[in-house]
Each structure stands twice: as C-alpha cells, then as structure tokens.
A and B are shown apart, each in its own frame.
Chain A
Amino acid sequence: MTELVRLTDVTKVYQGGITGALNGVSLSIEQGEFTAVMGPSGSGKSTLLNLIAGLDRPTSGDVVVGGTNLGGLGEAGLARFRRDHVGFVFQFFHLLPNLTALENVLIPAQLKGRENAEARGRTLLERLGMVDVADRYPARLSGGQQQRVAIARALINNPTLLLADEPTGALDTHSGDQVMALLAQLHRDGQTILLVTHDAKLATRQASRVVSVVDGKIVDDARLETMERAASDVVRVRGEETSR
C-alpha cells in the first residue's frame, strides 16, 4: 500500500475562538482506502478535510498529499494542486445555475486547459446514470441528480483523492442511498475516498476505517472487518420464553 496523505502534528487555530479548530492531529491515509471521518458538528472534521484539500492552511504542522507538502505551495500552487489532485463533493452541490449539467461537469477540465473533455464528461454522466439530463440546468434536476452531477464534476480530472463532506446531508433517504452506492462503486474501482460525516450509520456503511474526531483531536481510529457475516452472528431476535 502506498501512503497518499500524511498529516503530522497539525494544528489549526481560528481567530476569535471559532469552533472547528484542530489540535495536534496526525493521520496517514493509504491509496485506495475508503476512510470516514466522524465527529459532532464543530469537532474539526471539516477543517481536517479542508486542510487535506488545500482549501485552508494549518497554523502549524505538515500536510503532505501525494508526496507534495502543501505548506511549500503558494496560492497559485495550491489552486493547481486542488485542480489536479482533489475532487470535492459538498453537502449543497454548489453547481453553477446558468450552466447545464454537462457544462458544470466540464469546468475543472477547462480550468486545466483540456478543452476536449466533453466525451469524458458524457461518459462520466452515463456511468452515474445521468446522461439523459446532461443538457438540463441544475434548477430542473432533483437534489440527488444535482449531487451526482457534482460527483461527476469532482471526477472529471481523475483526482487522486475524492473528498466528500456530508454528501447526503441535503438528500432524501433514497437519493442518499444512491449517492452512497455510487461512492462504494468508485471505491471498488480503486478511488481513494475520504468521507466526512456526523452520522455513524453512514460512516460505517462503506468505509473500512472510521476516524473519530472530538474537540479538534483524533480520539479513535478503527479499522473494520469488511467480510460479510451471517445474520445470526450480527443480530438475534429473541422473545421472552414462558413455560406456560
């Protein structure tokens, strides 16, 4: 296994005591892992994700992704890093309303100077079951469809790392299930995924590793067995037996 992400003694302090600070966090993530970062709101889990994504800088400590120490990059360098290595999926999709689904998907490719990405964009939308609505505007898509477009956009540049911050938080159960099934499929195809959620059911659904963050610290790092088990080994229903 190759190490993809390494955080060493990372601290993030916000002026004015805003919550979400991190306090001496160290973490290593291997390529191909599906890791969930779980914690209550304000625990620092989204801050952790933003630091790995290069959206924010630590107050102290090192963030190394794919061999690059993000601390050594200037603003332009960080923007390039994000564009080339990171796909980001947010709770509230963040699609541009005046562009079609396909046009939204193609934005990161165009930023990279790849003008001929349309075929790949359509292939991605097809893979996500969205090719029929490629030319629709976001307002005409359901929440679940918008999130799938956002996932396609996150994947267009073949990111080394896919980061998802509460990706089902704004979706109904059925659409949320579809998005999680999609992330599971991407993981099976080799995608490294880091999922941030406050929901333990979601964290344990596909991830084989659950990192718990509380008050800016990692308090637990659990690796789960993924082997399927017999129903009787997992849950037993038993009524109270009476002798009469």
Chain B
Amino acid sequence: MSLKYGVLGLLAEEPLHGYEVKNRFESMLGGTWEVNIGQIYTTLQRLERDGLVRPVGARGDRGKLLYELSPSGRKALVNWLAQPDSGPQQLHEDIYVKLLLATRVANGSLPALLGRQKRAYLQRLRDLNQLEERARRDGRSDLARLIRGALLHTEADLKWVDELAADTHGGKTE
C-alpha cells in the first residue's frame, strides 16, 4: 500500500521516470526498503490505469517515460497522508509464534528462548543506536525519526521479554 503512495508522493515533487522513482524511493527510506524496478513499473501502470498519474510527452532515450501526478492523484495522496494508521497491529516476527509453541513442543525451553531473544534485542538496540547516529550525522533527521520509532519498538520488545522471563522464574506461566 505505501509503495503506491510513496510513488505518488515522489511524483508530487516533480515528474520522474521509473528508475528515478526507484532510486529516490530507496534513498528516502535510507536502505530500509529495497524495491525492484519491476514493482515500480507495475505500480506506475496501475496508477496510470486509475488516472492518478499520467505520462508526460513521448518516450525518450532508451524508451524512458516520464510520469507526473494528475489532480486526482494529488487529491488521493493528500487524503492518504491525512489518515491515521488504524488497521490491526502487524506482528510479523516469528518470536510471537515461537513463544506459544515453546511451551507446548519443548517443555521447559522457554527461559532459554527468552534469554537468547533478549540478547538479540540488545544487539538490535545497539545497531539501531548506531544507525540513528549515522542518520543524524548525514543530516537525515527524517530517517533518524524513523529509526527512533524502531528503537522504541525494540525497547518495548525487550521489556516484554524481561516481563515474560520474570513471570517464568516466578512460576506464573500457564
């Protein structure tokens, strides 16, 4: 979903061709989201079909086609930007399922799993700290804010694992 609006957002600044959209998108995300050029072209074709972008002029060098935002594309972008994210929370990481299975499949291995997970979170915090510092050094305060979000999420994950470990030691696990 965000890729579609990411493309609209970049085209709101100036008309771009597919490769420029890919490069700018990846650079905006500071390497935290890589897209292949095929996804970009498919997205541009869908946006054109829906009347949200339109080609500017004829195909140029090596068949490159510039796209610009249409008025309805601009409206769709502004609407999307104004909407809060209110869908279900996404828990993508395996740990959530591992946690449920650990007590069923391998009885007693939960404390060890939690200990290893804690270390992984500490390492991630360390890496995110470095990344945030690098983003600030590079003058990318927008990217630093994104990484800050990841840092705070990881801090919450760590608290969660600590809490589970305390519960396990206290014999309170069901």
Contact = CB atoms under 8 A, between A and B. Distances in A.
Q: Give the 3 A-B CB pairs with smallest separation, nearest first.
A: A239-B2, A231-B31, A204-B125
Q: How large is the interface on B (under 10, 10 to 19, 20 to 34, 35 or more residues)?
A: 35 or more
Contacts of A244: 46
B33 interface: yes
Interface string A196-214: 0000110111000010101
B124 interface: yes
B1 A242 contact: yes
B95 to A, nearest CB: 16
B167 interface: no
B35 to A, nearest CB: 10
A201 B149 CA distance: 12
Nearest to B128: A234
A222 B119 CA distance: 6
B32 interface: yes
A237 B29 contact: yes
A69 B159 CA distance: 36
A226 B134 CA distance: 14
A224 B33 contact: no
Contacts of B124: 234
B125 A201 contact: yes
A132 B126 CA distance: 34
A220 B118 contact: yes
From DSSP, what is the main secondary structure of chain B's interface residues? helix
B147 interface: yes
Interface in B5-51: 6, 29-34, 46
Contact of B32 (A219, A228, A231): A231
A201 B150 contact: no
B66 interface: no
Given A220-B118, A222-B122, A200 B32 contact: no
Nearest to A39: B162
Interface of A: 200-201, 203-205, 210, 212, 214, 219-220, 222, 224-226, 228-242, 244
Given A231-B30, A240-B1, A242-B1, A224 B150 contact: no
B32 A232 contact: yes
B69 interface: no
Contacts of A219: 165
5 contacts: A201-B129, A214-B162, A225-B126, A232-B31, A237-B146
Contacts of A240: 1-2, 90
Interface of B: 1-4, 6, 29-34, 46, 90, 115, 118-119, 122-131, 134, 146-147, 150-152, 155, 158-159, 162, 165-166
A244 B52 CA distance: 13
B131 A239 contact: no
B53 to A, nearest CB: 16
Contact of A241 (B3, B162, B166): B3
A228 B137 CA distance: 14
B34 A226 contact: no
Given A239-B3, A241-B3, A201 B151 contact: yes
Contact of B130 (A203, A229, A232): A229
B31 A228 contact: no
Contact of A204 (B31, B122, B152): B122
A200 B153 CA distance: 12
A239 B125 CA distance: 22
A200 B158 contact: yes
B117 to A, nearest CB: 11
Given A237-B33, A239-B3, A241-B1, A220 B127 contact: no
Contacts of B129: 201, 204-205
Nearest to A240: B1
A219 B169 CA distance: 11
A230 B128 CA distance: 10
B76 to A, nearest CB: 14
Given A219-B165, A220-B115, A236-B32, A225 B123 contact: yes
